[in-house]
Structure 1
Amino acid sequence: MNTKSRAALLSVCSNSLLIVAKLAVGLLTGAVSIISEAIHSAMDLVAALIAFFSVSRSDAPPDECHPYGHDKIENISGVIEALLILVASLWIMTEALDKLLHPEPISGAGWGVLVMGASALVNILVSRHLYRVAKEEESLALEADALHLKADVLTSLGVAAGMLLIWGGVALGWDLARLDPLIAIGVALFILKEAIELLLKALRGLLDHRMEEAELAELEQLLQANCPQGTAYHALRSRQSGRRRHIDFHLTVPPAMTVAASHHLCDELERLIAAMLPHAEVLIHVEPAGVHGG
């Protein structure tokens, strides 16, 4: 099992435990905000399972049917995860609005504070690990999973604060029952924003979006610095598929340059690009100076 798969499996295990804990306390207290957090974690679990599958498949080598590899599996998983989160947020809002119109007393809010605090701590640790691996491996699926958990940290802390206020209100004889569904609506809106951002990012890869501006600028600087006198490049194109960058451009060389010398120059440029972008696939079209698109 590779590094990405181990990280995804860790997320699966942690989310499974948190779902059980949140659901148990949510049913015990009757707090819709805690139950909404259990649903949020359930969506995180589905996302983690999808991420586990996608990172396992995305590294598969190219084959006859997929000559450019399987990297876009991670983008597809990102779209599915975003749609699941979107559905979950709408369901939470529906339930919370019903509770807001028909408030019910909350019991055992102290348990809610405890489980939400523990959930936030676990997800802080797991999300940091996922972000580190996602950055090292350039994995959109793991980055999406880490984003879910980061959102879960913030919403868990928000629910914990709400439970703490309700707990204190009960002790003082205050009726704060409507605070619970209001917090749940806040959680749902936060999750909705998260889903839209993830969906847009995942779709960029499926639509063959070019590399990031900063990477393109570095690439152009590299080419300008390493194209020998008498040579030049043009028609530079790029697209990103998972962690892989596909780059192609035309390289003009002096008409008298031999095929062997042109090939050696292309090899050197590809080596330099690979050193800067380890997962780049580079295609260079060589043409004699003065001829474009030949």
Structure 2
Amino acid sequence: MDERVKTARLSIISNSSLIIMKLIVGVITGSVSILSEAIHSTMDLAASIISFFSVRISSKPADKEHPYGHGKFEDVSGVLESILIFTASIFIIIEASKRLLSGKEIGSSTLGFLIMFLSAIINFFVSKKLYKVAEKNDSIALKADALHLRTDVYSSLGVGVGLFLIWITNLHFLDPLVAIFIALFILKEAFNLLKTAFDPLVDVKLSDDEISIITNAISKYSSGYCGFHKLRTRKSGNKRYVDLHLVFPGNMHMKRAHDICNNIEAEMSRSLENTEVMIHLESCDNDCINCGLPNKSKCKNR
């Protein structure tokens, strides 16, 4: 089984266990912050399920209907997961505001903060595993899932600290205030995730650092061609796509030009994993037919 699929399944198991635990403690204590954390974990579970199926689909090879592969399923997954986080955060803010206005007190805060700290520890190790596999496989779906769990770590710690302060001070209004603060924090993270996942769907170019690596790979063999232009980049899942026009002297043998293109493609693949390159060969015009060479500066196609 694909490593990404195994890791996504681990996230489903951990989130399911935490939801049950948080719901039981939330009902017993009547803490809106713990119940908000249960809702947060429910959204995490939904995200984990989406992530699980998206990485399974995206790992399929290209076929007749999807000649560029299935990588964008991961990007769609990231967008859906961010929408789920937005929805959960708004719900938490509404419920916490109602509790703040009502002034209702919670039950045992001791049990509450112990469960929250336990939840933070579990999610820390699971999210660490998810991030490791996501970075290794450049998986946006697993990165999104890891982000969910990492925010859950922070929010669980926040709730735990809030309940601990209630236990010390008996100021029960801290419970809904902490819940609102957590929801605002999650909203910020959701916005960042949405941008990261949405950009590949509209074919935003690769990062400046990645483009710099690409141009360096092209320039490494600059002694054999006149210039390049129409460089375009995009990403689909963990796949990077690069295409460009490479200009050669009009009298260069096709095999030599083709060998240079192969060297450039190999250099890019070594520098950036999961990169597919398409190079269009162009012949230099009459004003620079001998460029390549000493008169490269005269090439109008550069």
TM-score, length-scaled by structure 2: 0.92
Runs of 4+ in structure 1 off by over 4 angstroms are none
- The residue aligned with 2:277 is 282
**Mapping of residues 253-292 of structure 1, within 5 Å:** 253-290=248-285
Per-residue deviation, 1:281: 1.1
Per-residue deviation, 1:98: 0.6
- The residue aligned with 2:42 is 42
**Mapping of residues 52-63 of structure 1, within 5 Å:** 52-63=52-63
- The residue aligned with 1:119 is 119
- The residue aligned with 2:239 is 244
- The residue aligned with 1:95 is 95
- Per the alignment, in what secondary structure is the counterpart of residue 278 of structure 2? strand
- The residue aligned with 2:192 is 197
Range with bigger deviation, 111-120 or 228-237? 228-237
**Mapping of residues 68-147 of structure 1, within 5 Å:** 68-147=68-147
Provide the C-alpha distance between the structure 1 equivalents of 2:27 and 2:151, rounded to a whole number of angstroms. Answer: 22
Provide the C-alpha distance between the structure 2 equivalents of 1:51 and 1:21, rounded to a whole number of angstroms. Answer: 23
Deviations 1:82-105 (A, max 9, x none): 111111111111111110110212
- Per the alignment, in what secondary structure is the counterpart of residue 283 of structure 1? strand
- Aligned AA (2:46): V
Per-residue deviation, 1:168: 1.7
- The residue aligned with 2:161 is 161
- Aligned AA (1:74): E
Deviations 1:120-174 (A, max 9, x none): 00111111111111111000000011111110111100000011111123xxxx4
Provide the C-alpha distance between the structure 1 equivalents of 2:53 and 2:59, rounded to a whole number of angstroms. Answer: 11
- Aligned AA (1:55): V
Deviations 1:24-80 (A, max 9, x none): 100010000000001001101111111111111112111111111110101101111
Provide the C-alpha distance between the structure 2 equivalents of 1:278 and 1:204, rounded to a whole number of angstroms. Answer: 19
Provide the C-alpha distance between the structure 2 equivalents of 1:127 and 1:224, rounded to a whole number of angstroms. Answer: 40
2:221 touches 2:260 (CA, 8 Å); kept in 1?
no
**Is 1:32 paired with 2:32?**
yes
Per-residue deviation, 1:233: 1.6
Provide the C-alpha distance between the structure 2 equivalents of 1:262 and 1:217, rounded to a whole number of angstroms. Answer: 23
- Per the alignment, in what secondary structure is the counterpart of residue 39 of structure 1? helix
Provide the C-alpha distance between the structure 2 equivalents of 1:229 and 1:2, rounded to a whole number of angstroms. Answer: 41
2:224 touches 2:260 (CA, 8 Å); kept in 1?
no
Provide the C-alpha distance between the structure 1 equivalents of 2:284 and 2:8, rounded to a whole number of angstroms. Answer: 50
- The residue aligned with 2:178 is 183
Task: Report the CA distance shift for 1:110/1:257 in structure 2 as closer, same or farther (over 3 A).
Answer: same
Per-residue deviation, 1:230: 4.1
Provide the C-alpha distance between the structure 2 equivalents of 1:229 and 1:11, rounded to a whole number of angstroms. Answer: 51
TM-score, length-scaled by structure 1: 0.95
Range with bigger deviation, 218-227 or 19-28? 218-227
2:32 touches 2:175 (CA, 8 Å); kept in 1?
yes
Range with bigger deviation, 30-39 or 60-69? 60-69
- The residue aligned with 2:227 is 232
- The residue aligned with 2:20 is 20
Per-residue deviation, 1:210: 0.5
**Is 1:206 paired with 2:198?**
no
Task: Report the CA distance shift for 1:263/1:230 in structure 2 as closer, same or farther (over 3 A).
Answer: closer
Per-residue deviation, 1:212: 0.8
Per-residue deviation, 1:232: 2.2
Per-residue deviation, 1:231: 3.3
Aligned residues: 288
Structure 1: stretches of 5+ with no match in the other structure: none
